[in-house]
């Protein structure tokens, strides 16, 4: 089966990122590896990944290798200064499940928005009573280099289509 809308896709890959600064592209460095022990599964057309990622996988089949680069523009774009905000440290108390170590600069805080969706913010600076947090996607501002293999393509079940995600061994459990 070819990768197409509403197919469940399983892949292994290595993701490397690079960034252009002052007209000079940095050497790509590895940030994530998904191997046979921990493959990545998603519902094609409903992955939440950059559109170009799915577009470049479309039509490929089980067993095929892939290698492509998403430019920053086609990936997560440029950083948005409006997503860097200061919040009172008191909002990140022990009663809310936060430890002092979690609030250290450079750490990512697991958060939820007002609709209950998971999100994260990077602690940029401890300002004493406040924290300077960056809510931009961690891969914003980078070119993404993917190299991998398609290990499974199958038709999504009615339940997976209704729920918008993969069920079973490689997906969400109900």
pTM of the predicted structure, to 2 decimals: 0.82
Residue 24: band (very low, low, confident or very high) from pLDDT cuts 50, 70, 90: confident
Instruction: Name the CATH architecture for the domain at 7-77+141-163.
Output: Roll (3.10)
Q: Taking Cα atoms as reference points, which of 28, 32, 109 lies closest to residue 69?
A: 28
Q: Is the dihedral of CA 159, 163, 165, 167 positive or negative?
A: negative
Thinking of the domain 81-134, which architecture would CATH place it in? Answer: Beta Barrel (2.40)
**Euclidean distance between CA atoms 119 and 116, whole angstroms:** 9
| Mean local confidence (pLDDT), 64-77 | 96
Where do the structural domains in the chain lie, given as residue ranges? 7-77+141-163, 81-134
Give CA–CA dist 145/18, Å, rounded: 8
Output the average pLDDT for the chain: 92
pLDDT (tens digit per residue) in 33-52: 999 999 999 999 988 889 99
pLDDT at 116: 83
Residues 6+ apart with CB under 8 A from 128: 89
What pLDDT score does 174 carry?
41
Return the SS3 of 156: coil
Separation of alpha carbons 34 and 93, rounded Å: 34
The predicted pLDDT at position 173 comes to 43
Average pLDDT over residues 67-83: 95
Separation CA 5–CA 155 (nearest Å):
9
């Amino acid at each position: 089966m070819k990768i197409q809308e509403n197919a469940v896709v399983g892949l292994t890959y290595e993701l490397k990122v690079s960034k252009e600064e002052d007209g000079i592209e940095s050497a790509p460095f590895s940030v994530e590896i998904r191997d046979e022990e921990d493959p990545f599964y998603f519902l094609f057309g409903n992955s939440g990944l950059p559109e170009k990622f799915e577009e470049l996988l479309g039509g490929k089949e089980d067993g095929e290798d892939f290698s492509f680069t998403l430019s920053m523009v086609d990936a997560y774009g440029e950083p948005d200064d409006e997503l860097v905000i200061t919040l009172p440290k008191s909002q990140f108390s022990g009663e809310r499940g936060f430890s002092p170590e979690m609030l250290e600069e450079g750490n990512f805080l697991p958060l939820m928005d007002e609709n209950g969706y998971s999100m994260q913010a990077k602690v940029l600076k401890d300002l004493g009573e406040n924290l300077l947090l960056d809510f931009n996607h961690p891969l914003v501002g980078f070119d993404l280099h993917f190299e991998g293999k398609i290990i499974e393509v199958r038709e999504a079940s009615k339940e997976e289509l209704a729920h918008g995600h993969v069920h079973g061994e490689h997906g969400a459990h109900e």
